[in-house]
Amino acid sequence: MRMTQPPAPPPPEPPPAVAPPKKPTARTLEDLHRDITFANQYRLEFIKHTMSLAAAVFVFTLTFKQNIIGTGPAYGVTYAFSSWLAMIVSLMGGLAQLSGWDRYYMTWRDYEWRDQSGQDARRTITAWRRFGLVVQIGFFITGLVLMAIFCALNM
């Protein structure tokens, strides 16, 4: 009698190297609200920090102008005055943006003013907000460059 051996079990399959990709899930309304809230907070912080920097450059350079100039005569004073003016205009641009955002959100309520719908008002407000952004950033950079030139002339 000949005995047969039972067949050997198959070798175990190796585990997959990478997990299979998950199917994308649909975004919920809660996800959308969270993203909008995050974007609004980021935008407001950006506006406020840019305004803070413009105010700081204005105040510190005005306060410590004698340290910048030194004991000799000042050169390029018009650069300093122009820089301070640019910083003030930058601050006004930031205030215009903050005011614009306030008005923008008010138009989502039941809005009707001077026969203008909320959507028409938002178009106008958005144009003014964007103008405020350009003014804020443009004059901030201009003011920094002018102050750097003034400081370089007086070193």
pLDDT digits (tens, 9 = 90+) for 79-102: 999 999 999 999 999 999 999 988
Decide if 42 is inside a domain.
Answer: no
CA angle 96/36/32 to nearest 5° reads 160
Cβ neighbours of 143 (radius 10 Å): 24
128 part of a folded domain: yes
Q: Which pLDDT tens digit goes with each residue over 11-32? A: 787 776 666 667 667 778 888 8
Does residue 45 form part of some domain? Answer: no
Domain that holds residue 149: 54-67+74-153
Would you say the pTM of this structure is higher than 0.95?
no
Would residue 121 count as lying in a domain?
A: yes
DSSP letters for 28-56: PHHHHHHHHHHHHHHHHHHHHHHHHHHHH
Ranges of residues in the chain with a pLDDT under 50 are: none
pLDDT at 110: 66
Position 27 in a domain:
no
Q: Does any domain span residue 85?
A: yes
In this structure, is residue 11 part of a structural domain? no
C-alpha gyration radius of the chain: 31
How many structural domains comprise the chain? 1
Q: At what angle do helices 118-153 and 29-63 cross, to 10 degrees?
A: 30
Q: With respect to residue 32, please indicate whether it lies within any of the assigned structural domains.
A: no
**109 torsion bin: left (phi>0), alpha (psi -120 to 50), beta (else):** beta
